[in-house]
Amino acid sequence: MTIIRKVRRLLKVIRKWFRNLIRPFLIYIKVKLGIPVRFRSPARDFLENTILPYYASQEDLSRVLFVGSDWYTIHYKKIFKPTVEYWTIDPEPKQARYGAKNHIVDYVENLDKHFDSGFFDIIFCNGVLGFGLNEREPADRSFGSCYSCLRKGGVFVIGRDETPGLLSFSVDELSSMHKFKPHQFAPCATGNYSLKPQHEYLYSFYVK
């Protein structure tokens, strides 16, 4: 290997190391300034470019819940019309800074303690299974609570990482899920949209 190649390789490593070092700082600054920060992945691109805009364009939408907040979800509220009441819920108090103006600090299991039955038109539960909501019982209670807080005809969207071994139970076997009916996500004409083989990720659509 020539000396020039060695130097180029070293510079590439230094650039990558430097990017990784300043990335959290850049994210912090952007969040503070209210600049949308995107976390790029095939699953998230599908959520942000297809799922959320599709439901945001529905005329009869008035109340939306997005479960779990993080630095890359701050701008989701802006996808919905200002007339839409956009809510978020997360049990971690420090995640509230990434949540909506209407934010609840609590587990989604307790959703029905905060809202009347039939309150929401749509609930998105993305990236929470296996990332905090890890056990069968809490997951069953959570989805039962989501069912109760959805209006009749309301839509429930679950986005989940399908990495083998991440979850020790099958979501579709939970008794709370049996109350929902499958729902066709019109843009893809399916109720289960898998990102495989690009990404071990699945979006499932249900209706109350």
CA distance 152 to 70: 29
Q: How far is the CB of 77 from ligand SAM (least distance, A)?
A: 13
Asked if the bond preceding 138 is cis, omega within 30° of 0, the reply is: no
**DSSP 3-state of 203:** strand
Which of these segments, 113-121, 129-137, 190-198, 199-207, binds ligand SAM (CB under 6 A)?
Answer: 129-137
Q: How far is the CB of 9 from ligand SAM (least distance, A)?
A: 34
Q: Which is nearer to ligand SAM, 89 or 150 (CB)?
A: 89
The strand pairing partners of 157, in sequence order, are 124, 205
Type of residue found at 204: S
Q: How far is the CB of 101 from ligand SAM (least distance, A)?
A: 17
Q: From 146, 82, 149, 145, select the one nearest 115 (Cα to Cα).
A: 149
Q: Can residue 114 be called a binding residue for ligand SAM (CB under 6 A)?
A: no
CA distance 19 to 21: 5
Size of the site for ligand SAM (CB under 6 A): 20
Which of these segments, 3-11, 23-31, 66-74, 163-171, binds ligand SAM (CB under 6 A)?
Answer: 66-74
Q: How far is the CB of 2 from ligand SAM (least distance, A)?
A: 44
